[in-house]
Amino acid sequence: MQPEIDLLGLPLKTFGLCFGLAFIVSGAIVSRRLKELGRPQDWAYEMVFAALIGGLIGARLYWVLGNLDTVQEDVVGSLFGGSGLVWFGGGLGGAAGVLLWARRRGMFNLALLDMCAPALAAGYAVGRIGCQISGDGDYGIATGLPWGMAYPDGVVPTTEVVHPTPIYESVSMLLVAWALWRSRDLLRPGVVFAFYLLLSGAERFLVEFVRRNDAVAAGLTEAQLLSLVLIIAGIVWLSRAKRSGGWRVDDAGSVKPAAPAPA
């Protein structure tokens, strides 16, 4: 494990580096898709910035709402401290930031959601690499499997051999990102994003069974309950799309991409 690296006397957190890299990778994917759609590629930078600001605010607020006892002891430190960034809160905040940007740019449509789907999956996968390198406590429960590992030098150290769940998530979400990207011109508007909701929700729901999070209701963790919402939303969306003309472009006849807007 390598929670931080020294660069000319300046300590750099490896999780933070991967966090930043996740936004770069996501931005590159969005930029490529914008080019294919005939839209300005520099919009990708605007989207990434909106997602970054919204994500940081959302992650912090989500943590604050879940830790009100701690916040009351140190309001300023809790709001502006460096720890306590929650993925689900960051996802909600980042989505809100991008949607506000899209409304301003006149791209508040299904094409936006489909464009973001593979970028979200790839960014999540890169972010989990940071969890693995830093050993930040996102690892799993004890295991006797041959690929189990300990995190003695992590941010949250353990000498127990556990499931390396960040690796599970990185590999699975990279595969999801690849599949969504390959499907971008084959599926009707909105269907790519619906599959993202279903697959990302299923991935997180399943991996939680071997992670060390506590159950909060019906034997399920908080992440699993939120994942069920994504799974159900994806299934409902796909079912409605299937009934209204099918998932693929060919199923609905000669569906053509929308004409590019003026730059």
Question: Which has more confidence, 177 or 107?
Answer: 177
Q: Where do runs of H (alpha helix) occur along 67-190?
A: 68-73, 75-80, 87-105, 110-134, 165-182
CA distance 43 to 23: 14
CA distance 159 to 183: 42
Between the two ends of the chain, the Cα-to-Cα distance in Å is: 46
CA distance 136 to 151: 9
Q: Fill in the DSSP letter of residue 156.
A: S
Distant-in-sequence contacts of 251-256, Cβ < 8 A, 24+ apart = 251/188, 252/188, 255/188
pLDDT per residue as tens digits for the range 165-207: 999 999 999 999 999 999 999 999 999 999 999 999 999 999 9
Please report the pLDDT score of residue 56 as a whole number. Answer: 80
pLDDT per residue as tens digits for the range 132-141: 999 988 899 9
Q: Residue 139 in contact with residue 210, Cβ under 8 Å? A: no
Mean pLDDT, residues 123-130: 93
- pTM of structure: 0.84
* Residues pairing with 7 in the sheet: 10
What average pLDDT is seen over the chain?
86
* Residues pairing with 187 in the sheet: 248
Residue carrying structure tokens 């930031």:
97
